[in-house]
Amino acid sequence: MDLTNINKDRKNRRKGSLDLSTMVYGKVPPQAKDLEEAVLGAIMLEKSAFDTVIEILKAECFYVDANQRIFKAMQSLSQKSQPIDILTVVEELRKKEELEMVGGPYYVTKLTNTVVSSANIDTHARIILQKFIQRELIRISGEVISDAYEDSTDVFDLLDNAESKLFEITNNHLRKDYNSIDSVLVKAVQRIEDLRNQTEDISGVPSGFPSLDKVTYGWQKTDLIILAARPAVGKTAFALNLARNAALSPIRPTAVAVFSLEMSAGQLVQRILSAESEIWLEKISRGKLEEYEMKQLYAKGIQRLSEAKIFIDDTAALNVFELRAKCRRLKNKHDLGLIIIDYLQLMSGGGGNTNREQEISQISRSLKQLAKELEVPIIALSQLSRAVETRKEGNKMPQLSDLRESGAIEQDADMVMFIYRPEYYDVNANEHGESVKGETHVRIAKHRNGSLETIKLRAQLHIQKFVDEGVEGEGPGGGAPAWKPITPGGGPADNGGYRQIGSRMNDVSFDDDETPF
């Protein structure tokens, strides 16, 4: 006996008998029949009325079935560039064999008698939309209630399904109206004036690295920034540096949200503490600290970081609906200024896509939409395919085509940055014979609003820190460019004195067209 099919049948029967959209407490579903007739009549009276209505309403927004069919006939006429009036609508309905279903020519003619002009058609259409959204909320709530009574329904699937349907209403029916250029010009001129009057050159969220900020002018609002590299190159360490630098910036301290799908919050905090206090990550992880190191940890690390507005979420398999809800709350409560996601390929779309490429495309589009909605930059970490490994020696710098699983990532991003370290490929000296230990190239391969540059940083991965090449001194982005690490035991350093533990993705073997999930 197939229990799965039995449960499905029982659920379908329950849904059929429990239609809460029509019988909750005996109430009639929200509707505006008179306004529906007025809108349809106005469309047939005035030529431009349909263009106004089509930006607000879809056929399913009409409560009366006859009105839905008439509006679809009007859409069909518009697509064929034919005029919309009583005669053309009646003829279109006759071709579709739906004229009698709507009440014949009499009903279509009657619609024009209910309205004099289309003067208030915009307001009428929005009221119809409001009633439709109310009906949809009732319908979705009814389905959620019905599913919640089923013991066989997974609660997380129920939550995900409810969020997905609610987001679909928002995404499909609550669209922002266009702006006239004069209103946008006022905002643009005001921003230019503000930038002229400010003393620093950074207009966005500071990265903490002067050479990088010189190209980007900080992370800009609404931008989606992709930070990509091969496993164990230092993506997470660099991203945490960006979070720490933004939150502790002396120019513009910013609230930062870090969503880690791979590492726990405790592990991330240890890395941030290591970078801020400049104490070995390995010693912090093992708790093998001398007394003076504990004092240094409190003075340079804990004391400063306790003031930073960094919010860490280590929910595994986070989907875009949960991410959106959490970011909205943080934006409202803490004026969130930067979002970092580690990393994109571990997210789930929550839309039921079986094709991984389509799911990644949906995720990248959703991240860009979220950046625009909240007006904050989003930095999403991404894996690179193994194509970079197969290229010839000396040509290991990542390219846009190396982004894993979807071209939509490249398409949706405002900026794509690659991290490349020569020593990752056992290149220990440059063409002049000089050591490249710790040398890190941050290549900006796509930049919608600026130039394409390659910035040189120096990685000190034993303390999970990156410093600007040639920039000395303490503080974000600063540090001694030439460093001589000491091993945790106090002895001489081997292989640069540090050990980098790679991502768990190193332990997974899969082809470029396959996914580990």
Shared-domain flag, residues 282 and 146: no
Predicted confidence at residue 345, as pLDDT, reads: 79
Q: Is the pLDDT of residue 485 over 50?
A: no
| 387-414 tens-digit pLDDT | 777 776 667 778 787 776 667 777 888 8
Alpha helix locations (H) across 301-450? Answer: 303-305, 320-334, 356-374, 387-390, 408-412
pLDDT grade for 62, boundaries at 50, 70 and 90: very high
Predicted confidence at residue 354, as pLDDT, reads: 59
Number of domains, the chain: 2
Shared-domain flag, residues 239 and 141: no
Q: Which of 221, 229, 226, 216 is nearest to 412 (CA)?
A: 226
Predicted confidence at residue 171, as pLDDT, reads: 67
Sign for the CA dihedral angle at 468, 472, 476, 482 comes to positive
Shared-domain flag, residues 90 and 211: no
324: three-class secondary structure by DSSP:
helix
Alpha helix locations (H) across 287-441? Answer: 291-296, 303-305, 320-334, 356-374, 387-390, 408-412
Shared-domain flag, residues 149 and 257: no
Rounded to an integer, the average pLDDT of 160-164 is 76
Q: Is the pLDDT of residue 490 over 70?
A: no
435, HSE (Cβ side, Cα atoms, 13 Å): 9
Shared-domain flag, residues 146 and 69: yes
The domain boundary, picked from 450, 468, 486, lies at 468
The domain boundary, picked from 174, 190, 218, lies at 174
Does residue 413 belong to any structural domain of this protein?
A: yes
| 232-287 tens-digit pLDDT | 888 888 888 989 888 888 888 888 998 988 888 888 888 888 888 888 888 888 87
Predicted confidence at residue 90, as pLDDT, reads: 92
How far lies 351's CA from each of 6, 30, 49, 144, 364, in Å?
A: 25, 28, 35, 17, 13
Please give the positions annotated as active site: 262
Shared-domain flag, residues 222 and 317: yes
Predicted confidence at residue 176, as pLDDT, reads: 56
Shared-domain flag, residues 380 and 303: yes
pLDDT grade for 91, boundaries at 50, 70 and 90: very high
Shared-domain flag, residues 443 and 345: yes
Instruction: Please give the model's pTM, rounded to 2 decimal places.
Output: 0.63
pLDDT grade for 131, boundaries at 50, 70 and 90: very high
Shared-domain flag, residues 161 and 284: no
| 303-313 tens-digit pLDDT | 788 888 888 88
Predicted confidence at residue 65, as pLDDT, reads: 92
Predicted confidence at residue 514, as pLDDT, reads: 38
Domain span holding position 164: 33-174
Assign residue 426 the CATH number of its domain.
3.40.50.300
Q: Is the pLDDT of residue 126 over 80?
A: yes
Shared-domain flag, residues 79 and 158: yes
| 428-481 tens-digit pLDDT | 777 777 777 778 888 888 888 888 888 888 888 888 888 887 554 444 455 433
Does residue 500 belong to any structural domain of this protein?
A: no
Q: Is the pLDDT of residue 353 over 70?
A: no
